């Protein structure tokens, strides 16, 4: 367990990666249907188009490397191996959800799989990842903390604060800037003085580079190297992944701002299709094996959705459970008073 | 050897709590601006860098949001950070981390990870530091479910409550007072932990209950002395923590005295005094002989000029006046 996985995946790993990407795609397509049917509330941010960035990253890490993400994080949880049932149930706000219905789509966490959560305040999760890296530094273990955030988040001051502390203290962290080129409706050129984001980390003495985020193998190779730097050389690293999201910012965004031709250009580089071609070309899977895998994934998604729909709601008398790890009363509405 | 408790300053009491807890538990570490080589802006952490080394006493850049968030992440990983924010005024740039992350993570993720951390910071006015350096933000923190809010007034409480805070599994906002660091008093030993949610009667009395915390306890006690000279015996109660709040002790007293004044160095609107008064109205309305009085800082940004500043901060005379106002309003029986 002391070294990062090698950059080049085995055929079996490649099959697993394609399956994970397919699961994310199909799961999110189903989630979007459930949202349209009114069974999912709140915000629902889809990462469709970003599967290579997610799976390439997760597959390059050790399962115990702490991972944090934004609100666009179903894929990270799925790639880490969280039960799709528990994710879909969380999206539907059910008691069986991975966070007991407290978090919803934006706030998945799977502590057991070192997935330390999705966060809704843009940029605000990055210092948490720095703290997870600090803990490894403090204890002298060899885990690497990885934090994925958007290019929009990179404009938040706190992200620069974290670059500085990571560089200053040589913390084992990989900053992963998922540049999907838009923060809601704002393209990079209207939000950033310089269109490349990776040089920002370079300014803090962090090794940093940019990679094609639509190519799962390129992502995996880059994150492997970044994780190796952090794990073995105890140096932070930063990778900018250039990618594209195929859907609007969230389900409530009709996506009218982005140019149709631009969308088509990026859809022509669909990370799943591209990677399927690689597997076919190398003879690792044939068309029927891919079709069979897709059918299995669809079954998993069906099962997760049925499970979620059939799951009980969260009992209202548990409303105030978990506000505190050490509570002082059991008032179901929550209360600052000792004995209300 | 005498069994008499040691006498020390509030500052020394805090330092002793930090030392004892760091010796006891290796997962406890300190982080903040100038706490190591510089011994801390208020010298609470004096000498600790040499004792515990740079991994456990960490000087940070001036980056409150960043290192507060780092502390939260470290706590999620099972460490017990004690983050020092130089003064409460600078917590405002870390407010997103405190409110959106520290207070929410346990709940929002269904109880999967606790956030066992302490954020220590002094606040309060009185040194002509003017508008940006004189805040009392108890109300802001107390507003937020998921935080615990601790406001020690004495060296004994400073030590006993800080030890409890460090061992607590939730994020604790530990609000010290710049005006109290030199205050002397007895403190308890290694095993003297003061539980959260236990108010304490600082002075017994029968005529009016005065509720005050942190430095205002001493203002209230000075007022009580003056009032005693006029034959008015007030009961001074210190809640010690606002989350949790020991309303029972407060309400029991008010039911006996039938009058209450709440003293708070923060602003009046939606403040601590307003919140405590609301609880007391709900709990004691039928016992009250007069409206509950509030003594707050003036509803202005803190001015620099000495005379204006003193006029803006609650003084013993303000408490005396508020208590007498509740007496004058007594409903004849
Ligand atoms: C501090 C903050 N400001 C604004 C928002 C609203 N908001 C949510 S996502 C988003 C865009 C973020 O873009 P980016 O970081 O590039 O990530 P992406 O959504 O593209 O994955 C905005 C403005 C927010 N959640 N938090």
Domains of chain B (ranges plus CATH)? Answer: 8-187 (3.40.50.970), 200-326 (3.40.50.920)
Picking from A104, A64, A102, A71, the residue whose alpha carbon sits closest to that of residue A87 is: A104
How far is residue A3's CA from residue A21's CA, in Å, rounded to a whole number?
Answer: 25
CATH number assigned to the domain comprising residue A43: 3.40.50.970
Chain B interface includes A1 (CB < 8 A): no
User: For A169-216, what is each residue's pLDDT tens digit?
Assistant: 999 999 999 999 999 999 999 999 999 999 999 999 999 999 999 999
Burial group, residue A330, by CB count within 10 angstroms (0-12, 13-18, 19+): exposed
Q: Ligand 1 atom 6: the closest Cα is on which residue? A: A122
Mutation site for A-interface testing, chosen from B77, B195, B246 by largest number of A Cβ within 10 Å: B77
| Domain membership flag for residue A328 | no
Taking the C-alpha atoms of residue B149 and residue B272, their distance in angstroms, rounded to an integer, is: 12
Mutate to test the pocket of ligand 1, among A120, A152, A213 (most ligand atoms within 8 A of CB): A152
Average pLDDT over residues B159-183: 98
Interfacial A residues in 172-231 facing B (CB < 8 Å)? none
Q: Is B192 a catalytic residue?
A: no
Instruction: Show the tokens assigned to B287.
Output: 């016992």
**Residue position matching structure tokens 């948490």:** A128
pLDDT tens for each residue of A25-41: 999 999 999 999 999 99
* Stretch (H or E) spanning A304: helix A287-310
Q: Label residue B2 by pLDDT band (50, 70, 90).
A: low
**CA triple B220-B222-B225, angle to 5 deg:** 110
Domain coverage including residue A296: 11-313
Sign for the CA dihedral angle at A154, A157, A159, A161 comes to positive
Instruction: Determine whether B213 is an active site residue.
Output: no
Considering chain A, what is the average pLDDT of its residues?
96
CB A115 within 8 A of CB A132: no
**C-alpha pair distances (Å), A13 with each of A5, A6, A59, A217:** 11, 11, 8, 11
- C-alpha distance from residue B276 to each of A336, A337, B35, B173, B268 (Å): 11, 11, 34, 18, 12
Average pLDDT estimate for B253-274:
98
Atom of ligand 1 nearest to the CA of A249: 19
Share of chain B above pLDDT 70, in %: 98
B-contacting residues in A 78-117 (Cβ below 8 Å): 97-103, 107, 109-111, 116-117
Name the CA dihedral angle for B165, B168, B173, B174, rounded to a multiple of 10 degrees: 0
Closest in B69, B242, B279 to A158, CB measured: B69
Strands of A93-213 (E only): list them: 115-119, 145-150, 173-179, 182-183, 186-187, 207-212
pLDDT, average across residues A297-310: 98
Is A325 part of any domain?
Answer: no
For position A7, what pLDDT does the model report? Answer: 53
**pLDDT at residue A2, rounded to an integer:** 44
CB-ligand 1 contact for A56 (6 Å cutoff): no
Give dist(CA B139, CA B269) in Å, integer: 10
Q: What is the pLDDT of residues B75-121, one digit of tens each?
A: 999 999 999 999 999 999 999 999 999 999 999 999 999 999 999 99
**Which H or E run includes B208?**
strand B208-211
- In order of B231, B253, B262, the CA distances from B206 in angstroms are 11, 9, 16
Mutate to test the pocket of ligand 1, among A45, A182, A184 (most ligand atoms within 8 A of CB): A184
Point out the residue among A97, A158, A338 whose CB comes nearest to the CB of B245. Answer: A338
Buried b (16+ CB within 10 A) or exposed e, A86-96: bbbbbbbbbeb
- Report the C-alpha gap between A308 and A85 in whole angstroms: 6
Cβ contact B65–A161 (<8 Å): yes
pTM score, two decimals? 0.97
Strand partners, A332: none
B77 and A164 within 8 Å at the Cβ level: the answer is no
Give the one of B63, B106, B279 whose C-beta lies nearest to A164's C-beta. Answer: B63
Mean pLDDT of B180-206: 97
Cβ distance A324 to B106 less than 8 Å, yes or no, reads yes
In chain B, positions 115-174, which contact chain A (CB-CB < 8 Å)? 115-116, 142, 145-146, 148, 168-170
CA separation, residue A259 to residues A50, A246, A250, A256, A283 (Å)? 18, 12, 17, 8, 37
Task: Please say if the pLDDT value at position A116 is more than 60.
Answer: yes
- Helix or strand holding residue B323 (H, E): helix B316-328
Residue A324 lies in a domain: no
pLDDT at A339: 78
Taking CA–CA distances from B93, the nearest residue in chain A reads A158
Q: Average pLDDT, stretch A223-241?
A: 98
**Contact criterion met (CB < 8 Å) for A325 and B106:** yes
Chain B touched by A260 (CB under 8 Å): no
CA of A114 to the centre of ligand 1 (A): 24
Return the sign of the alpha-carbon dihedral for residues A277, A283, A286, A289.
Answer: negative
Q: What is the pLDDT of residue B251?
A: 98
pLDDT at B240 exceeding the cut of 90? yes
Q: Say which range, A7-11, A107-111, B120-124, B201-205, has the weakest mean pLDDT.
A: A7-11
Burial annotation B146-164 (CB, 10 A radius, 16+ → b, else e): bbbbbbbbbbbbbbbbbbb
DSSP structural state of residue B62: S
Q: Distance between CA atoms of B113 and B72, rounded to whole angstroms?
A: 11
Is residue A3 pLDDT above 60, yes or no? no
Distances (CA, A) of B61 to B53, B116, B117: 17, 23, 20
Å from CA of A153 to ligand 1 middle: 7
Q: Is residue A40 part of a domain?
A: yes
Does residue A323 lie within any of the structural domains? no
Average pLDDT over residues B159-179: 98
Among B133, B143, B192, B279, the active-site one is B133
pLDDT at position B1, please? 46
Q: Of B33, B64, B265, B309, which one is the catalytic site residue?
A: B64
Instruction: State the pLDDT confidence band at B331, using cuts at 50, 70 and 90.
Output: very low
CA angle B99, B100, B106 (to 5 degrees): 95
Complex prediction ipTM: 0.97
Q: Verify whether ligand 1 is closer than 6 Å to residue A236 (CB atom).
A: no
Domain count, chain A: 1
Share of chain A above pLDDT 70, in %: 98
B314–A contact, CB cutoff 8 A: no
Chain A residues closer than 8 Å to B168 by CB? 326
Going by the DSSP 8-state scheme, the letter that residue B182 receives in this structure is T
Within a domain: A321: no
Nearest chain A residue (CA) to B98? A124
Tokens representing B220 are 């209230």
The answer as to whether A331 is a domain residue is no
Rounded to a whole number, what is the distance in Å from the CA of B314 to chain A's nearest CA?
26
Cβ neighbors of B208 (< 8 A, separation 6 or more) are: B232, B234, B235, B257, B259, B260, B261, B323, B326, B327
Report yes or no on A262 lying in a domain: yes
């Amino acid at each position: 367990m002391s070294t990062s996985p090698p950059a080049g995946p085995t055929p079996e790993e490649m099959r697993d990666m394609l399956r994970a990407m397919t699961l994310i795609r199909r799961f999110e397509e189903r989630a979007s249907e459930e949202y349209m049917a009114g069974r999912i509330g709140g915000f629902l941010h889809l990462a469709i188009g970003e599967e290579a960035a997610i799976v390439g990253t997760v597959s390059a890490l050790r399962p115990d490397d702490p991972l944090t993400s934004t609100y666009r994080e179903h894929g990270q949880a799925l790639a880490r191996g969280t039960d799709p049932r528990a994710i879909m149930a969380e999206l539907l706000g059910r008691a069986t959800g991975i966070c007991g219905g407290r978090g919803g789509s934006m706030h998945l966490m799977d502590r057991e799989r070192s997935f330390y959560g999705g966060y809704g305040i843009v940029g605000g999760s990055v210092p948490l990842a720095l703290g997870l890296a600090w803990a490894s530094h403090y204890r002298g273990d060899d885990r690497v903390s990885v934090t994925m955030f958007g290019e929009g988040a990179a404009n938040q001051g706190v992200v620069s604060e974290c670059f500085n502390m990571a560089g200053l203290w040589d913390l084992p962290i990989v900053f992963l800037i998922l540049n999907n080129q838009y923060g809601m409706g704002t393209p990079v050129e209207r939000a950033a003085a310089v269109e490349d984001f990776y040089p920002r980390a370079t300014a803090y003495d962090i090794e940093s580079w940019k990679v094609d985020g639509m190519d799962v193998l390129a992502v995996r190779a880059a994150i492997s190297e970044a994780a190796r730097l952090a794990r073995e050389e105890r140096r932070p690293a930063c990778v900018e992944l250039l990618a594209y999201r195929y859907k609007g910012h969230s389900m409530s965004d009709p996506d009218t701002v982005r140019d149709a031709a631009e969308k088509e250009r990026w859809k022509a580089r669909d990370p799943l299709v591209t990677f399927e071609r690689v597997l076919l070309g190398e003879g690792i899977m044939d068309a029927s094996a891919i079709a069979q895998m897709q059918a299995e994934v669809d079954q998993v998604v069906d099962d997760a959705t049925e499970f979620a729909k059939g799951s009980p709601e969260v009992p209202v008398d548990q409303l105030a459970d978990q506000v505190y790890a050490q509570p002082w009363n059991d008032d179901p509405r929550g209360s600052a008073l000792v004995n209300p | 050897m005498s069994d008499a408790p040691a006498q020390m300053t509030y500052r020394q009491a805090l330092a002793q709590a930090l030392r004892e807890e760091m010796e006891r538990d290796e997962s406890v570490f300190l982080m903040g601006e100038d706490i190591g080589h510089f011994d801390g802006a208020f010298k609470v952490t004096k000498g600790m860098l040499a004792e515990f080394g740079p991994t456990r006493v960490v000087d940070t850049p001036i980056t409150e949001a960043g290192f507060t968030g780092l502390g939260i992440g470290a706590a999620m990983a099972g460490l017990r950070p004690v983050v020092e924010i130089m003064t409460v005024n600078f917590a405002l740039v870390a407010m997103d981390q405190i409110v959106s992350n520290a207070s929410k993570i346990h709940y929002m993720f269904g109880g999967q990870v606790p956030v066992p951390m302490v954020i220590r910071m002094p606040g309060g006015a009185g040194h002509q530091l003017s508008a940006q350096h004189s805040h009392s933000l108890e109300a802001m923190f107390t507003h937020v479910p998921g935080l615990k809010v601790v406001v020690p007034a004495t060296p004994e409480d400073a030590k006993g409550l800080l030890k409890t805070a460090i061992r607590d599994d939730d994020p604790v906002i530990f609000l010290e007072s710049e005006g109290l660091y030199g205050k002397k008093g007895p403190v308890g030993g290694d095993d003297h932990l003061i539980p959260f949610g236990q108010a304490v009667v600082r002075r017994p009395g029968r005529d009016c209950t005065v509720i005050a915390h942190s430095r205002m306890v001493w203002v209230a006690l000075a007022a009580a002395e003056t009032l005693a000279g006029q034959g008015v015996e007030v009961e001074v109660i210190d809640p010690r923590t606002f989350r949790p709040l020991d309303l029972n002790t407060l309400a029991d007293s008010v039911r006996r005295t039938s009058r209450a004044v709440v003293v708070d160095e923060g602003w009046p609107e939606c403040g601590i005094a307003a919140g405590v008064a609301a609880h007391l109205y709900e709990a004691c309305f039928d016992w009250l002989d007069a409206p509950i009085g509030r003594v707050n800082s003036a509803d202005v940004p803190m001015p620099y000029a000495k005379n204006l500043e003193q006029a803006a901060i609650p003084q013993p005379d303000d408490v005396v006046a508020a208590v007498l106002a509740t007496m004058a309003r007594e409903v004849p029986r």
